[in-house]
Each structure stands twice: as C-alpha cells, then as structure tokens.
Structure 1
Amino acid sequence: MIGHYVRVQEESALLGVSPATIRWYSLQGWLPTYRVGRGQVAHRRFRYPDLQHVATRTGRYVADEPAWDRTVPITVEMAAQYLGLSARYLTETGAMPPGTVLSWEGLTALEQQVYPGPEEPWNGSDSLKEAIPMMREQMMMNQACGCHGGRTAPASGEAESAATPKGGWPAVDLPVEGASLLALRRTRRHLEVQKADLEDQLAELERRIQAHPENHG
C-alpha cells in the first residue's frame, strides 16, 4: 500500500514517467520535495496530494489516496507506511521506539518532526521553457534506447543480461568548447538528475544489503 509520502520510484510508476522527469517537476517547483536524513543518505519523498496535483496539471490520472482509518491506534509499522519510511528507520533514530502506539494527533506531530517542510525549489536562471526541451529530449532518448522509467527494457523473450546497464541512461557527451550557455546548463542539469537517480539507487541497494538475512547470520 502506498503511503501518504511517496518515494521517487513509486511516484515515477504512478505518473508513468521516468525518475528524471520527476526530478524536473521538483526542480521547477511543481512537486514539493521533502527530505529525510542528511547529506548523501538524504532520501526524497513527495506527498500524495502533490502527486495528484501534478497528475492533473499534466493531464494524467492518479487514483485517490488510499483511505486511512483514523479510528485505530498507530503502530510503528503503520506510521512507517504512512511516512514512506521503514519501521527500522523510525525505531533506530528514536523517532518512534519499538512498541510505541500513537494517536493520529501524535502521528501528525511525528510527521512534522520527520518532514518539517519542503525544500526550496531550484532557483537558477534557467526558465521552465528551457527545462521542458530537456525533459522532451530525455523522453526521446528513452524511446530510442527502449528505456522506460529510467530502465532498459530487454527485447521480447530475451533475458536481461548482467552486462545490460541498469540505469538506462544514454552516454552524455560534454558540449564542445564555445557552446552556448544554454547548452552547458542543459548538460549540467541532465548530469545532475542522473547523479541524483544513482544516489537513490545506491541508497536502496544499501538498504537491501543491511536487511539481507546473510548480513545478520
């Protein structure tokens, strides 16, 4: 069940766009971004109502947020689901010790503690008109390489080989010397969204490594 706070990959699947496009929405201020953690381990989360707003704005359909039963006490597992986090994160950070039960008012207070507010959207000089062509270029490259949602799709009946790139990103050539400022900015932003996507993938891999049964044997 999707939580009230949604991860990048979940948002990408619900909207039917690539993670790179999700980041462009965030950069342009269309999609308020909430952070949990710090530095390289800071994870992005988005509120479900904001996801629905972007869906309406871009002509897509996203179902209403699943109903939350506000008559029942909130366990650690339920709070983790609502906040788009793991129960382990809540317990290990001390935000919600094991066995804790909250009211919905308590969950609201915990939400404000974990997500005090959205981060400021990117305030660079590139306009939205400059960003949209970059998004369109990314979509065209995804179609050309058979990518969807940032991943490379194997051919029909063909197993995905170990050598297949998992990110689905085409190689990026730096602009030639003397290129326009707009070309330089576009390439920089393109690389930045790739870097952010890789950071999310690395964080997810680290989570799986730490939770793997062989790691606790």
Structure 2
Amino acid sequence: MNKENISSKTESSDKKLWTNWRGLRGWNYYFLIKFALLWGGYLNFHPLENLVFIAFLLFPLPEGLLRKTWDWIAFPVGIILFYYDTWLPGIDSIISMNSQATALSFSYMLELAQRFINWQWIGAGFALLVGYLFISQWVRITPFIVGAMIWLNLIILSGPAISLLPTASTGNSTSTTATSGTPATTTNSAALSTQEPPTDHNLSAYYDGFIQQQKELYTQFPAALPPMPNRSIY
C-alpha cells in the first residue's frame, strides 16, 4: 500500500509539474518590439540567445516563491539581452569613455538624447501595444512568438531562403575622380548603399565597396609645369 501511495503521489506531482505551463504574457510585447526593430534593421539580433530566453520564460514551475524568483530574474536578463541585441557600444566601451562623458554639458546631453529618440518609432510602439492588448483578448500570441523565433533560428542554421529584412533597390551609378579631366569610373552603388539594414553582411559589403572605390580614385598631375610668364623689370 505504501509503495502504491508513493507511486501515485509521484505521478500526481509529475502531472502537476507539466500542467504549470503558461504563456509569455507581457513578454509577448517584448518580443514583438524586437521583431519590429529587426524588420527595420535596428537590431543586431541573436536568435539562439532569444530562443533560450523564451525557453527560460516558458519553463513550467508551480506558483509560489520559486515562480516569483524566476520572474524577478527574467527582468534583468531581458534588459541585458535587449541591450545585447542593439548596435549600441559594449559596457566596456561605455566605462572607458566615462571620463569623457562626464565632461559634456547638460544641454549637450539633452540635445544628444533628443537626436537619439525616434518619435516615429515610439508612436509605432504605442500602436503595437494597443494592437497587442486588443488582439490578445481572443488570440494567444505566445505560439506565434515561439514559432517565429524557431523560424529565425532555422534560417540562421540553413541559410536564408528569402530576405527577412527590407532591402533597397540597387542600381549602377557613375562616380568621377578627384580632378577634372580624368576618366570616370563606374561602381556598383549596391555596395555603398546607405539604405540597406545594418547587418554584419551589409556592413562588410559597404566597407569592401568603399575600399574598392577608393582604390580606383587617383589624381593625374601634368607631365610638365606651365612656362613661367616673362616679367620685365624696369
């Protein structure tokens, strides 16, 4: 009887453990913001790290102290991961430039903050929040977030079959050399396009195109100096 009771208790505890699944809840909006910024080319996105973070958030835990501790740990991890996905400088660079930053005036820092803030994206984020709160009344958003994250990881592993980010149209443009009278060189503007999203591939292509363009530039000096004018001294 004791063995049967113990086995029944373990089975019931296992069932309770796996019935503690819950959705991402407010973290859905967190990942929707990331997807929107990724689409606009504003993130250096790391799919695997974000997938691990989703698994961390979805891990089934019973309600109680452990669940609350788990949730409190998720907040700083989410902030650090969001910063890690941006193009902002690393913590080491910020610490090394701390002495220079303290020398800046408050008015300059305020002006810099105003230039940094994109009010259009803030408005888009507010609209996305309202849309998420409205749709989440009837639709569970978590499966779509998990599916999109798995799809992004599969793209990274197998290579992109389609372009995820919006790309600008490419074309040929003609650039002239440093001085007049020298032959013009034709370069592909796709390599030097500033409209592409700032991914690692596009940044490398931009750099290579810039170096190639600079190699083709030259200055042609005259073969001989012009004759000096005759000046009579009276």
Q: TM-score range by the shorter chain?
A: 0.3 to 0.5
For the pair shown, the structure with the greater C-alpha radius of gyration is 2
TM-score (norm 2): 0.31
